[in-house]
Structure 1
């Protein structure tokens, strides 16, 4: 009996010719050639914009031969145009699996899948087909361009730059779109002057690139050219008045200048009509105006959208399991048996710890004003080293990290650690972090708390500065922002509190098991007396006396041009006490705001000495 059940993916094909097809029983190449003419007819109908006729013919062909490439391509294009993303993706993936007559055809299939996923913001999913396209056609500029986009948006920024530049070279001409994407990549690296020059060239070629104008405005703001940034945005909004990204960027300029009413006017309308970044800006403006209830409503809607509209979920299991694994391995007894990398001349790393919102950005800004200190921002390479260590240390039992570190006790483990330590600096060097004047590299990577054990092996005497802040202020700071945090913990206050507990518990374990060169610093002390705090930190870090900026200069926290500008410098402002015990004002106006998270955070509030500062 004929199975007429239509596939649930939405392709329009019968299930036995789609997701449940036995491709091993599909027609062979000789049989396919008999229907190639009909498939070409379907393409002709599609090109003539006779879409319903093209669809009907493609469905008939694929019911006979589910592996007919031309018909499959027609059906893919139609489902994509209809917005049936699940069906389009399944058809696109099927095209990548079909035998191709040459590499160019195969690469085109992988590239169209990658481009579709990029358009959906699914850059991680796009990585595999994008890489495949480049491998199949290494001289194709578009393939390199798409891979550059994927790598840049997944945090492999220097690799993304490499492929953007390959695309430019292969084109043998300047292309406005490729150059604008390269400029954004350079901006992400903090190479703002290069980014500005590249944006100028890109926008001369493609002045209609609204996204490029927005990127250029962000670069100018990062270079502290605020009037130029505002003019770029105002001119762009005159042309593209409905562009939400440009509108948000302009609102952020108002927020920066203290024009809080203007922010709310620009981002007006019902909260449900705004996107999470818009809600964060509107909430921050409402807070500065003293409208705390409005601010909480905006922040809460942003977090709700992350959960419900974008499917972001926080699952504590992964973090808890990873923490338990690290706690079980990194014990004092085991660490005593492992070698250490020898000390070397040259720059020394200074590791900053602190849950997001604790003040590590501010500390990095102030430290980088001291001669010899260079900010690495999030470019620290410890996380990457944990992936590479298997190439240096034998892992025959496939233990994985961190268990494979036990093999360092066999043979010349110190030399292996020295190679790994050197790789840390090679990465920073290639990222343009280290310069001839660098004596200390400030590494404030967000995952440093996971790597304290490896830090102890590679840099036994490295200073570790732990930024502490009232836990309720830390949670509130993240609740009020729209940014990606580890394990999606920023989607709600309970998730933030739970992950804060996991993070702080792990740091407490490391401190109990390792002899660390550790200095805690309260955010409250830093903003109350930045010069005094900075002096004590520098004295802790350096055995040699270093000249500090004046108290006035430290308090002013003025922008200073450097080759590589950390992203947080864009919003750099004078040191202020506005956010000290920020939670008090919120709790006074919204009394139940923290009721769900106090049971989790109260032990930390007490342990950190904030019990009297409730």
Structure 2
């Protein structure tokens, strides 16, 4: 492309600009033929003009000839790489063709040329959200909104980035700003229902899910969010109805179907069973590995419900192989962290810092491996009038993140001797600030983040009145339950037998260490004992944490505490023992796992697995 003539006469220039605006109007209205005729007419007068070639490229793309459209924009960029408008539109074409990484390069260049151009920032941030580069996306989207707060997509994408990084309050704020601009935005209501659900504000989440459905009755994500909210509130029949509205509509329908299958027992004549078999017939046509894994997990759960344990184990194994490929697990990292915590919080270290910490708060940490009974135990505590339940809070990671001196010592970038009592006080203060932002104001609060067991040595010093209930469950039951849940990236150790076994060994070693080292603050509690003697176990646990007996703790199904974890359906039922010794249904299928854990199993257990 060479330099071309441009109208010099002001009147002529105004007329041409008016025609260009008319072309843009045609394109926006989808009238590509009319736009094309007008573009060709101007090109006959102003041959190869970059702006007109740009418009022609857009028109070709709108007409369905995306390759020709891209080629035309590439010719403009070859002539002038600094045309921000072309960079943005070319990046949009690349993104639409699935080449999001290349699109990001174009948007980044546009931002570098024109850092205060809102659309460039907004498109860059949007592409980064698509590529899951959330931390990079957030500042670009915030800048785009600062430059032009009327760009709704920037707010929506910013909310998505906040949701994906578990910053739900920030997402809620961003979405309310969208609704202030456009109260009829179904997308805003959909995302708001999800963010509110994650913040366990279920009544508000239900409202916005239903509002989204009013605005867009076929919005699958709105039905999914409604189902999740109703299930978390214990309204299982209503949740099932919501899930079934979309269960046959992939890809969101797969998430709804999976949740339905895990929420209730599948029967041979249930609608979810028919849907599962229909999806299975189309398995090879499913291109997304996560959706394939989700289907296989659901098929495994349904097969178990129907008593077909060989089939169930086969489905679960296939599902976990797919999950393991998507979410690799590094057992060495966990082993290094648990070893470091043991080497740091030694008897001498604990004795040295026994005067540290904050006593205003008496947190009850209910921790252990996932699927060990943490949710049930917290639900029972939540019925006590002096306790507020926090659920799986990210308070501990937040407190560490806000305390660099402690982090440096944990990472051995500073000597253990550098730890001061005030460092531990600040650790407690960071935790308290998080808890208070969650609306937890009582003296006794529960925190059931499972992985907190790793950091008991430091947390016990930061909170002298804290108590730690380490949940234990028969290793085969606990690990099988993890193996049969679709945890995805949240628990990648659950995807392979060797990972499960190694994780259990690390847990057992450090849990035993803390219980021995800190007997006044740490107690191990067996899930099986709670199931068989709930009153006796809860009387003992309440006495241990310093609370009087209250019989309401035995009526956990009436808890107003909402549940967002994988245990959502189980904790809505009275305490039952059907999940005890579940592993025995699989017997020899668990032989490899039992061999890895032979030092933690009885001879009878090993024999049931076909060993010995």
Asked if TM exceeds 0.5, the reply is: yes
Q: Of 229, 233, 239, which residue of structure 2 is paired with 1:219?
A: 229
In the alignment, structure 1 residue 545 sits paired with structure 2 residue 548: yes
Residue 611 of structure 1, CA deviation: 8.0
Residue 85 of structure 1, CA deviation: 4.5
- Partner in structure 2 of residue 102 of structure 1: 116
Q: Of 505, 519, 523, which residue of structure 2 is paired with 1:519?
A: 523
Q: Of 314, 317, 321, which residue of structure 1 is paired with 2:329?
A: 314
**8 Å contact from structure 2 (residues 467, 522) kept in 1:** yes
- Partner in structure 2 of residue 479 of structure 1: 483
* Inter-partner Cα distance in structure 2 for 1:81 and 1:252: 31
**8 Å contact from structure 1 (residues 283, 299) kept in 2:** yes
Partner-residue secondary structure (3-state), 2:471? strand
- Partner in structure 2 of residue 6 of structure 1: none
**8 Å contact from structure 2 (residues 372, 478) kept in 1:** yes
**8 Å contact from structure 2 (residues 409, 415) kept in 1:** no
Given the superposition, is the C-alpha separation of residues 78 and 527 from structure 1 closer, same or farther in structure 2, using an over 3 Å criterion?
same
Q: TM-score, normalised by structure 1?
A: 0.79
Q: Of 126, 130, 133, which residue of structure 2 is paired with 1:112?
A: 126
* Inter-partner Cα distance in structure 1 for 2:257 and 2:65: 43
- Partner in structure 1 of residue 362 of structure 2: 348
Map 1:337-376 to 2 at 5 A.
337-338=352-353, 340-345=355-360, 347-376=361-390
* Inter-partner Cα distance in structure 2 for 1:567 and 1:361: 8
Gaps of 5+ in 2: 1-48
In the alignment, structure 1 residue 468 sits paired with structure 2 residue 472: yes
* Inter-partner Cα distance in structure 2 for 1:487 and 1:233: 25
Partner-residue secondary structure (3-state), 1:570? coil
Query: How many residue pairs are counted as aligned between the two chains?
Result: 547
Partner-residue secondary structure (3-state), 1:447? helix
Residue 199 of structure 1, CA deviation: 2.0
Q: Of 254, 265, 287, which residue of structure 2 is paired with 1:258?
A: 265
Q: Using CA pairs under 8 Å that are at least 6 residues apart, name the structure with larger relative contact order, 1 or 2.
A: 1
In the alignment, structure 1 residue 126 sits paired with structure 2 residue 134: yes
- Partner in structure 2 of residue 495 of structure 1: 499
Partner-residue secondary structure (3-state), 1:466? strand
Greater share of helix residues, 1 or 2?
2
Given the superposition, is the C-alpha separation of residues 408 and 143 from structure 1 closer, same or farther in structure 2, using an over 3 Å criterion?
farther
Residue 540 of structure 1, CA deviation: 1.4
**8 Å contact from structure 1 (residues 352, 442) kept in 2:** yes
- Partner in structure 1 of residue 218 of structure 2: 208
Gaps of 5+ in 1: 1-33
- Partner in structure 2 of residue 333 of structure 1: 348
Partner-residue secondary structure (3-state), 1:278? helix
* Inter-partner Cα distance in structure 2 for 1:227 and 1:579: 22
Map 1:175-194 to 2 at 5 A.
175-194=185-204
Q: TM-score, normalised by structure 2?
A: 0.80
In the alignment, structure 1 residue 167 sits paired with structure 2 residue 163: no
Partner-residue secondary structure (3-state), 2:449? coil
Aligned residues: CA RMSD:
3.3
Map 1:33-44 to 2 at 5 A.
38-39=53-54, 42-43=57-58
* Inter-partner Cα distance in structure 1 for 2:306 and 2:391: 31
Partner-residue secondary structure (3-state), 1:137? helix
Q: Deviations over 1:439-471 (max 9, x none)?
A: 421111122022212212211231111111121
* Inter-partner Cα distance in structure 1 for 2:403 and 2:430: 10
* Inter-partner Cα distance in structure 1 for 2:322 and 2:545: 43
**8 Å contact from structure 2 (residues 121, 144) kept in 1:** yes
Residue 134 of structure 1, CA deviation: 0.5
Residue 67 of structure 1, CA deviation: 5.0
